[in-house]
Amino acid sequence: MYDYYLGGKDNFPADRAAAEKVLEIVPQVPFMVRENRAFLGRAVRFLRAQGITQFLDIGTGLPTQENVHQLAGEEAKVVYVDNDPQVLAHARALLQDRPHVRIIDGDLREPERLLADAGEHLDLSRPVAVLMVAIVHFIQDDPRPIMATLTSAMAPGSFMALSHACKDIRPEIAPGVERVYQEASAPFTARGSAEIIALFDGLDLVEPGMVNLPEWRPEDPDHVPFRDSPPYFLCGVARKPAR
Ligand SMILES: C[S@@+](CC[C@H](N)C(=O)[O-])C[C@H]1O[C@@H](n2cnc3c(N)ncnc32)[C@H](O)[C@@H]1O
């Protein structure tokens, strides 16, 4: 469905049918997913500028034009994690022969195993950037224990980047979207902004804090999408302080 929203060709009739139902409720979804990818790009460039050279991208999605390893720099080590066999097959086909990149069949709901596997490629005693972009809203249970496991494994000076569907901004549409995803393979749970900010517990949000996607460190001040229709995604980047 995400690939269809992005205008890609890696989708099936069932994906397209479910995505069309979401588009009937929220016609702005293609803009939102593009803004989400743009946030991911700006966040990775920001993290690289902070000296981060290790990236753990959880919920990678199908490879698109600007992937984390392309933005993170030649020398950066990248671990991609997903639990969707299609995503893993595409990623492996695209990324073979790249010694700095590793693809892991992992599940965010099993963070200890995910960290153990990622730790075979990344040095988790050194700062790392954990990317959780448009994935935590696929966790139906309370995600805070998962976040706590991940943040406690991160070395001081590490970062976490996150985007998450927010039901406060457009409460009227969240139930309809959740219903369509419920019928599809991946149930979807939008959360309130206070719940989303709480996911960064123990970390310090960097400026400008938790904001709508286009407002996070925009590179073009004239770029103001959603002027008439607010997005329903929040995003932010936070840093683990020194002990
Ligand atoms: C909407 S896509 C986001 C892709 C990319 N992070 C981005 O923002 O462009 C969500 C991805 O998370 C994956 N995913 C969902 N639940 C997961 C889980 N429990 N563990 C690992 N991956 C998961 C899906 O397979 C999908 O590829």
CATH homologous superfamily of domain 21-239? Answer: Vaccinia Virus protein VP39 (3.40.50.150)
Any ligand 1 atom below 6 A from CB of 117: no
Question: DSSP letters along 1-57, please?
Answer: -HHHHTT-S---HHHHHHHHHHHHH-TTHHHHHHHHHHHHHHHHHHHHHTT--EEEE
Query: Which residue's CA is the closest to the ligand 1 atom numbered 12?
Result: 59
Query: Which residue's CA is the closest to the ligand 1 atom numbered 14?
Result: 59
pLDDT at 185: 64
Any ligand 1 atom below 6 A from CB of 4: no
pLDDT at 139: 95
For the segment 62-103, what is each residue's pLDDT rounded down to a tens digit? 877 788 999 998 889 999 999 999 889 988 988 888 889 999
Measured distance CA(113)–CA(109) in Å, rounded: 9
Q: How confident is the model at residue 225 (pLDDT cuts 50, 70, 90)?
A: low
Q: How confident is the model at residue 30 (pLDDT cuts 50, 70, 90)?
A: confident
CA 151 to ligand 1 center in whole angstroms: 19
Measured distance CA(186)–CA(197) in Å, rounded: 23
Ligand 1, from 44, 138, 237: best to mutate by most atoms within 8 Å of Cβ?
A: 138
CA 3 to ligand 1 center in whole angstroms: 12
Domain positions in the chain:
21-239
Q: Above 70 in pLDDT, residue 50?
A: yes
CA 75 to ligand 1 center in whole angstroms: 25
Q: Is the peptide bond before 175 cis (omega within 30 degrees of 0)?
A: no
Any ligand 1 atom below 6 A from CB of 108: yes
Query: Which residue's CA is the closest to the ligand 1 atom numbered 2?
Result: 61
CB 131, CB 55: distance < 8 Å: yes
Ligand 1, from 32, 44, 60, 113: best to mutate by most atoms within 8 Å of Cβ?
A: 60
Query: Which residue's CA is the closest to the ligand 1 atom numbered 11?
Result: 59
Measured distance CA(16)–CA(169) in Å, rounded: 26
CA 155 to ligand 1 center in whole angstroms: 24
pLDDT at 224: 65
Residue type, 210: M
Beta bridge partners of 10: none
For the segment 97-136, what is each residue's pLDDT rounded down to a tens digit? 888 999 999 999 999 999 999 999 999 999 999 999 999 9
**90: closest CA among 75, 105, 71?**
105
